[in-house]
A and B are shown apart, each in its own frame.
Chain A
Amino acid sequence: MNKTAEEAGTLAKAAASVQAGHESKIAATNVSVFYGEKQALFDVSIDIPARQVMAFIGPSGCGKSTFLRCINRMNDTIDICRVTGTIEIDGADIYDPKIDPVLLRARVGMVFQKPNPFPKSIYDNIAYGPRIHGVAKNGSAMDEIVETSLSRAGLWKEVKDRLNEPGTGLSGGQQQRLCIARAIAVNPDVILMDEPCSALDPIATAKVEELIDELRQHYTIVIVTHSMQQAARVSQKAAFFHLGNLIEVDETEKVFTNPTDKRTQDYITGRFG
């Protein structure tokens, strides 16, 4: 308990130092990832600015998801996966043995490709995170967290009368926003999204994109997407990956209109991918 409080303290202090402007929230240096013998990422170094949307683009299998999952140590769950290099969030190395991945994942939320609500009520879907982290007990405090999370995810109006119905009964787009609300409920700084719209229809996609744009005020967002249009619409910065290498990172506009690397240009103009 003591240890976690201390960790939270250092993280918060570091957070204060980058409060002003769009300083770096996440700083990765020389990150390499191996799946067994096979290397999937090669010396990736990147700074991800606070309170902006960073898009990862690149052809299939280039390691976007792999890198994204390094940021909340989701790769820990894969036995054969090994990560080298450092990733710092607010100046603290998240692969430091002192850091508890459970606490990290409360700070770095994740939204997956396929909406994956728990087969429980809408309320419990949101309340689960705060409950296990001891943020709030059941009761009015929890009700408030549920309401604010759902409101921020733009879902409150649609579900406020059916909080006790199962989350799996919502439409695909609503489910995905429920998952975003679930991530928000534990009060993270960073939200990682791995192709969050690839299972949604255009209208649901538009809603989620709109939501991402609003969330940018409060959260640092990293999104993996295969849609160039989506990257252009929602992100301020874009990073292009190719065969496990980070080729180019820049303002989204620059990457799309005036890329420095030939491979980036080929990819965004649709010559491969």
Chain B
Amino acid sequence: MSDTTSQSGKAKVRAWYEPDAKLSRRHSADKRLRAYGIAAIIFALSMLATLVGTIAITAAPAVTQTMVTLEVEVPEGAVDPSDPRGGSYQRILNDSIMRIFPEVDTPREKRELRKLFSNGGQYALRDKVVDDPSLIGRTFDVTFPLADIGDQLHKGVIDRNLPPDYRRVSDMQIGWYDRLVEQGRISAPLNWGMIFNADSRFPELAGLWGALVGSFYALLICFFVSFPVGISAAVYLEEFAPKNRLTDLIEVNINNLAAVPSIVFGLLGLAVFLNFFGMPRSAPIVGGLVLSLMTLPTIIIATRAALKAVPPSIREAAIGVGASRMQTVGHHVLPLAMPGIMTGTIIGLAQALGETAPLLLIGMNAFITAAPDSMFNPSTALPTQIYIWADSPERGFTSRTSAAIIVLLGFLVCMNAIAIYMRKRFERRW
């Protein structure tokens, strides 16, 4: 007995501010947890940096496009001035090329030489003449892309020191290319064609314009369908619907809908919009409708959250001065919830923009060489264009795929930034 008292007496000697073992254990646990957290963030950031870095490095060659400039003579009579589209520009261009390389004469060599220049040259020439028919009978400069092998050679992607069997360019082609460089005919301006051209089999001519227009139409449809429908559904569920089994069931199902894999929506779109309603395959309108099915739950959930966040006192105030329920919602609740709704909508649309699987199922991965004139024409979308290019064997498509990914990521980042800005800017504190 006296033992224990003397012990506890000794223990009491420690001053109140001296930490005991338990406290320092608690502190070290804190520190450990903080270290775990920081490590996790560093890990995540470095993964992200690696991903974006790899894509950016791969995309870098696509920033410029190697072009060649030739003097072309369009002989009088080769093109009919009343129908300049009908001229045989391929032949005219070939003649100009041959003038630079007079020593090339066997058909095999000519074919080899021709492979150095893009097939798009004749169209560049044609467009020039169509724009200005007075060029007929004169000699003038035409600038057009080198073919993929020339482009890759210029960018150093093809290593000319490899033995000839291991590279896609022959020694002869390298020689011709070097001659073009010597004559100052080669330039590498910014690759605007990558944005403003439609798709093509030839990487040096392929661009994203068709996909951009297609995605724009699809998102437009998606917005105009899912925004009003989503808001109406959310307003009804939140403000008017009685609370019963049925509305509970609907609520659960909307939440489930948000978790349905997107490919299922694609199958649904295929079955309903294409097979049942007979809508055009590959058209942005169908893509937009399918995407709106996916965006709908997101918008409904965001809208309901935004409506819930409007304090009941505002509703009471409106009802108290004699506003009907519809007026209460329309004049007060909905305007106050709008920033939240818009934020949710933009995030929903950003998801829709990146969605690939459902678009593949309704055929928006078709090979289409012109941008769609309307939302009923066949088209691709950004993610499906990436999918198509990623599947193409030509070297030029490797960098273009990555560049397209960067364009898509750019759009997504912008949309999310707008959403975050709106949330910050219009957020209300009650």
Contact = CB atoms under 8 A, between A and B. Distances in A.
A186 B321 contact: yes
A186 B322 contact: yes
Given A116-B316, A119-B336, A109 B321 contact: yes
Contact of A74 (B311, B319, B325, B331): B319
B321 A79 contact: no
Contacts of B311: 116
Contacts of B50: none
A249 B119 CA distance: 99
Given A79-B242, A79-B243, A128 B316 contact: no
A132 to B, nearest CB: 6
Contacts of A109: 320-321
A119 B319 contact: no
Contact size range, A: 20 to 34
Contacts of A116: 311, 313-314, 316-317
A179 B318 CA distance: 11
Q: Which of B242, B320, B323 has the most CB of A within 10 A?
A: B320
Interface in A131-146: 132-133
A182 interface: yes
Given A112-B313, A118-B314, A72 B320 contact: yes
B242 to A, nearest CB: 6
B160 interface: no
Interface stretch (A20-28, A100-108, A263-271): A100-108
Interface in A201-259: none
B275 interface: no
Given A79-B242, A112-B313, A183 B319 contact: no
A72 B316 CA distance: 12
Nearest to A76: B319
B308 interface: no
Given A79-B243, A119-B336, A132-B327, A114 B321 contact: no
Interface string B318-355: 11111111010001100010000000000000000000
B321 A183 contact: yes
A63 interface: no
Contacts of A77: 315-316, 319, 325
Contacts, number: 63
Given A105-B321, A133-B322, A114 B332 contact: no
Contact of B317 (A79, A112, A132, A186): A112
Contact of A105 (B242, B313, B319, B428): B319
A110 interface: yes
B12 to A, nearest CB: 47
B318 A118 contact: yes
B320 A183 contact: yes
Interface in A114-171: 114, 116-119, 128-129, 132-133
Nearest to A115: B313
Contacts of A105: 319-322
Interface SS of chain B = helix
Contact of A102 (B314, B317, B323, B331): B323
A128 B331 contact: yes
Contact of B316 (A74, A79, A132, A183): A74
A128 B242 contact: no
Interface in A65-85: 72, 74, 77, 79
Given A74-B316, A79-B243, A112-B313, A119 B321 contact: no
Given A79-B242, A112-B313, A132-B327, A118 B320 contact: no
A132 B322 contact: yes
Interface string B388-427: 0000000000000000000000000000000000000000
Contacts of B314: 116, 118-119
Contacts of A74: 316, 319-320
Nearest to B315: A77
A202 B323 CA distance: 32
Contacts of A79: 242-243
Contacts of A112: 313, 316-317, 320
B321 A129 contact: yes
B228 to A, nearest CB: 24
A62 B316 CA distance: 21
Contacts of B315: 77
A72 B319 CA distance: 10
A118 B313 CA distance: 9
Contacts of B319: 74, 77, 105
A106 B242 contact: no
A186 to B, nearest CB: 6
A186 B320 CA distance: 11
Contacts of B313: 112, 114, 116
Contacts of A114: 313
A28 to B, nearest CB: 20
Nearest to A133: B322
A181 to B, nearest CB: 11
Nearest to A77: B319
28 contacts: A74-B316, A77-B315, A77-B316, A77-B319, A77-B325, A79-B242, A102-B322, A104-B322, A105-B320, A105-B321, A109-B320, A109-B321, A112-B313, A112-B320, A114-B313, A116-B313, A116-B314, A118-B318, A118-B332, A119-B336, A119-B428, A128-B321, A129-B321, A133-B322, A182-B317, A182-B321, A183-B320, A186-B322
Given A105-B322, A116-B316, 6 more contacts: A109-B321, A112-B316, A128-B331, A132-B331, A182-B317, A186-B321
Interface of A: 72, 74, 77, 79, 102-106, 109-110, 112, 114, 116-119, 128-129, 132-133, 179, 182-183, 185-186
| 9 smallest beta-carbon distances between A and B, as pairs | A129-B321, A116-B313, A106-B322, A105-B322, A110-B320, A116-B317, A102-B322, A102-B324, A132-B323
